[in-house]
């Protein structure tokens, strides 16, 4: 063995663990070295670029400042004439030369509306520079023959006069620019035309300006093309459904889909044939394509049921809703053959009759389950309902139900249902049997018997719009007292029937209470004596004040009188007065008065002190 071989053997005999550890370290150090080298290169490159940029900028600024086109803006009104506010309907889109922000995928575009009809979409983009939405291609929507404005932006620090520009091959001179245009913002009014549909492009080219006596070209830096999406209702794809074949549990049809105006040609689309119930619930869906698709089959359907076939397309038709669903054609009233028919008739407020008719050939068709549900979305079973023979009972009044039958036809499990509605129940009848000046008596009855309902509360309210309950009444059987006389009230009955709360009310008026009777028992030249009585007894009323007034319109109280029991003195002779009594009955304040005259004073009459 050579010396070198020996040395190699010795080195190769180094402990594996040492080799592994050192190799791992080597890999890590090599990686670090690579990163360090890349950083040094990047720093050096950045520094070089920075220096070059500064130098270039200096040269450009020092020597010349030619006008530069930076992009176009679309708007519904002339932005130079009126500045758009944030809440304004004008929406701006800028194509400010940031070409690398564009993607060429149609369905990722930001939706920006030009038409006022799509107000909800406007709120997303109103007055905002949409170039904040990085990486999306923006598109405008408008209708045929709709005007809009294109503003051409030019960075023109030396304010060179702009002569013209070319848009879609047509030259527009400065006199054609809209009011408010200046040498940095040139506004042009445009219209897509009557027949436009799909994407309409506007491409700018050849902007001319004057430098001294020479006509030169503006440097074009920004994005030169913008797109307008035009929705034309006459240019949409059309679908027809024909050659329909039906049996008990399936429907088959041919569908022809045409797209003469290439409305689907602007991006992604999906086409489907959908089968819906007559309540517009989607039962099944098949993917289809343009042209004729034969024999589209929908299976597993319910027999004797009405469906419709709808052809739908998901695409952007430029109506402002973006990539969305559009119905391209439909065929209604497709009823499968019926093996079994349910009928419900003779509905009352709490019951109904029904029958099950089996089609010839299906006489042995067995119904696995027959039941009733409420007509809610979940079809909640109506548990208290009983089906006996041909009668359904235990229903609630004025409610919608479904009678459901489950069975199998041609191996397909079917749930057939038929809707029905119970009759309205006659309302509770409240009869006011008697009213007095402070009470009301009533009776209640129900056409179907009171045993089907539960009266929860009976009370009286004022005759106001909020039906304020009257307090401090007392109830004795079907009589409520403690009311005021001559007032209009409502008697309200709250009750529960058919599992639901109900309310019935009737209006009534308490009788007028006969007023307090004041009897002038005696008058002298300076006093009056009186007695009082009440038809309903004095025990229910409280006399609050007794006083005398002059016989004038305002019933001016006479002062300095004195009262002794039921005699009032201190009056003048030969005068007419009113004796007034203020009193209260069940908290109601009333007034009674009686007219009297004091006799003339005679000679020798003394005033008793």
Stretch that binds another protein, among 2-10, 113-121, 264-272, 392-400 (CB under 8 A): 2-10
Specify the residue, 33 or 357, whose C-beta has the smaller distance to another protein: 33
Residue among 153, 148, 177, 155 nearest 164 (CA): 177
Element (H, E) at 70: strand 68-75
CB of 374 to another protein, least distance (A): 58
CB of 38 to another protein, least distance (A): 15
CB of 17 to another protein, least distance (A): 9
CB of 11 to another protein, least distance (A): 5
37, 29 contact by CB (below 8 A): no
Specify the residue, 15 or 366, whose C-beta has the smaller distance to another protein: 15
CB of 310 to another protein, least distance (A): 41
Specify the residue, 19 or 50, whose C-beta has the smaller distance to another protein: 19
Quickly count: other Cβ atoms within 10 Å of residue 426's Cβ: 11
CB of 29 to another protein, least distance (A): 4
Size of the site for another protein (CB under 8 A): 28
Any alpha helices (H) in 64-84, and if so which ranges? none
533 burial level (CB within 10 Å; 0-12, 13-18, 19+):
exposed
CB of 115 to another protein, least distance (A): 38
417, 401 contact by CB (below 8 A): no
CB of 44 to another protein, least distance (A): 18
Specify the residue, 99 or 538, whose C-beta has the smaller distance to another protein: 99
Is the sign of the CA dihedral 279, 281, 284, 290 positive or negative? positive
Specify the residue, 9 or 107, whose C-beta has the smaller distance to another protein: 9
For 295, residues 6+ apart whose C-beta sits below 8 A from its C-beta are: 252, 253, 254
Residue among 535, 511, 432 nearest 479 (CA): 432
Quickly count: other Cβ atoms within 10 Å of residue 158's Cβ: 11
Residue 134 engages another protein in binding (rule: CB under 8 A) = no
Site string for another protein, 42-81 (x = CB under 8 A): ----------------------------------------
Specify the residue, 33 or 563, whose C-beta has the smaller distance to another protein: 33
d(CA 494, CA 227): 66
CB of 71 to another protein, least distance (A): 23
CB of 103 to another protein, least distance (A): 13
d(CA 459, CA 84): 62
Specify the residue, 18 or 86, whose C-beta has the smaller distance to another protein: 18
d(CA 597, CA 265): 108
Specify the residue, 7 or 545, whose C-beta has the smaller distance to another protein: 7
Specify the residue, 14 or 60, whose C-beta has the smaller distance to another protein: 14
CA distances from 135 to 98, 101, 132 (A): 10, 4, 9
Strands 68-75 and 147-155: antiparallel
Phi, psi dihedral angles at 53 (to 5 degrees): -65, -45
Stretch that binds another protein, among 4-12, 219-227, 382-390, 533-541 (CB under 8 A): 4-12
d(CA 451, CA 460): 24
State which of positions 8-47 bind another protein (CB under 8 A): 8-15, 18-27, 29-30, 33
d(CA 526, CA 55): 123
CB of 26 to another protein, least distance (A): 6
Specify the residue, 21 or 294, whose C-beta has the smaller distance to another protein: 21
CB of 36 to another protein, least distance (A): 9
Q: Please identify which residue in 7, 245, 294, 545 interacts with another protein, judged by CB under 8 A.
A: 7
Stretch that binds another protein, among 7-15, 206-214, 289-297, 371-379 (CB under 8 A): 7-15
Specify the residue, 42 or 503, whose C-beta has the smaller distance to another protein: 42
258, 290 contact by CB (below 8 A): yes
First to last CA, the chain: 165
In sequence order, what E strands does 383-524 have?
386-388, 391-393, 400-409, 412-421, 429-435, 439-445, 453-462, 474-476, 479-481, 488-497, 500-509, 517-523
Specify the residue, 16 or 377, whose C-beta has the smaller distance to another protein: 16
CB of 34 to another protein, least distance (A): 11
Element (H, E) at 31: helix 16-63
d(CA 481, CA 585): 12
State which of positions 542-601 bind another protein (CB under 8 A): none
Specify the residue, 23 or 355, whose C-beta has the smaller distance to another protein: 23
Residues at the interface with another protein (CB under 8 A): 1-15, 18-27, 29-30, 33
């Amino acid at each position: 063995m050579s010396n070198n071989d020996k040395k190699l053997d010795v080195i190769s005999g180094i402990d594996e663990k040492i080799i592994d550890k050192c190799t791992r370290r080597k890999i890590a150090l090599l990686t670090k070295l690579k990163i360090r080298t890349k950083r040094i290169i990047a720093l050096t490159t950045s520094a070089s670029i920075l220096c070059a940029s500064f130098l270039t900028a200096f040269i450009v600024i020092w020597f010349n400042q030619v006008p530069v086109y930076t992009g176009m803006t679309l708007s519904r009104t002339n932005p130079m004439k009126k500045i758009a506010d944030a809440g304004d309907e004008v929406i701006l889109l800028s194509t400010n030369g940031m070409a690398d922000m564009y993607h060429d995928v149609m369905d990722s575009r930001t939706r920006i509306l030009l038409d006022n009809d799509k107000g909800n979409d406007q709120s997303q983009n109103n007055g905002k520079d949409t170039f904040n939405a990085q990486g999306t291609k923006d598109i405008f929507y408008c209708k045929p023959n709709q005007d809009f404005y294109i503003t051409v932006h030019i960075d023109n620090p030396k304010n060179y006069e702009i002569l013209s520009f070319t848009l879609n091959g047509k030259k527009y001179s400065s006199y054609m620019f809209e009011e408010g245009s200046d040498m940095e913002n040139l506004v042009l009014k445009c219209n897509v035309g009557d027949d436009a549909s799909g994407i309409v492009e506007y491409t700018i080219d050849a902007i001319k300006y004057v430098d001294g006596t020479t006509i030169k070209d503006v440097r074009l830096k920004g994005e030169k093309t913008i797109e307008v999406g035009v929705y034309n209702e006459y240019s949409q794809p059309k679908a027809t459904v024909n050659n329909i074949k039906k049996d008990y549990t399936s429907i088959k049809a041919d569908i022809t889909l045409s797209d003469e105006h290439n409305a689907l040609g602007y991006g992604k689309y999906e086409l489907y044939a959908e089968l819906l119930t007559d309540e517009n619930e989607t039962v099944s869906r098949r993917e289809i394509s343009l042209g004729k698709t034969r024999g589209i089959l929908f299976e597993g359907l319910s027999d004797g049921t009405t469906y419709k076939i709808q052809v739908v397309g998901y695409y952007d038709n430029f109506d402002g809703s973006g990539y969305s669903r559009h119905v391209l054609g439909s065929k209604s009233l497709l009823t499968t053959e019926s093996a079994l028919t349910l009928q419900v008739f003779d509905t009352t407020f709490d019951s109904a009759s029904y029958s099950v008719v089996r089609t010839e050939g299906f006489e042995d068709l067995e119904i696995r389950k027959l039941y009733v549900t409420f007509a809610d979305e979940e079809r909640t079973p109506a548990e208290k309902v009983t089906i006996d023979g041909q009668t359904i009972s235990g229903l609630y009044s004025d409610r919608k139900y479904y009678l459901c039958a489950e069975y199998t036809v041609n191996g397909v499990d079917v749930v057939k249902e038929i809707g029905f509605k119970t009759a309205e129940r006659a309302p509770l009848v409240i009869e006011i049997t008697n009213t007095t000046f402070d009470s009301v008596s009533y009776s209640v009855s129900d056409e179907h018997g009171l045993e089907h309902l539960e009266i929860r509360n009976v009370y009286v309210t004022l005759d106001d719009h909020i039906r304020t309950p009257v307090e401090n009444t007392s109830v004795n059987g079907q009589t409520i007292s403690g009311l005021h006389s001559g007032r209009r009230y409502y008697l309200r009955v709250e009750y529960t029937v058919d599992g639901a709360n109900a309310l019935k009310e009737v209006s009534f008026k308490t009788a007028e209470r006969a007023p307090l009777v004041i009897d002038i028992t005696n008058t002298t030249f300076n006093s009056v004596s009186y007695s009082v009585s009440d038809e309903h007894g004095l025990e229910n009323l409280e006399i609050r004040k007794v006083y005398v007034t002059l016989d004038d319109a305002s019933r001016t109280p006479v002062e300095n009188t004195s009262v002794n029991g039921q005699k009032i003195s201190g009056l003048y002779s030969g005068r007419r007065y009113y004796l007034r009594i203020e009193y209260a009955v069940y908290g109601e304040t009333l007034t009674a008065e009686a007219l009297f005259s004091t006799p003339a004073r005679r000679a020798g009459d003394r005033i008793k002190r």
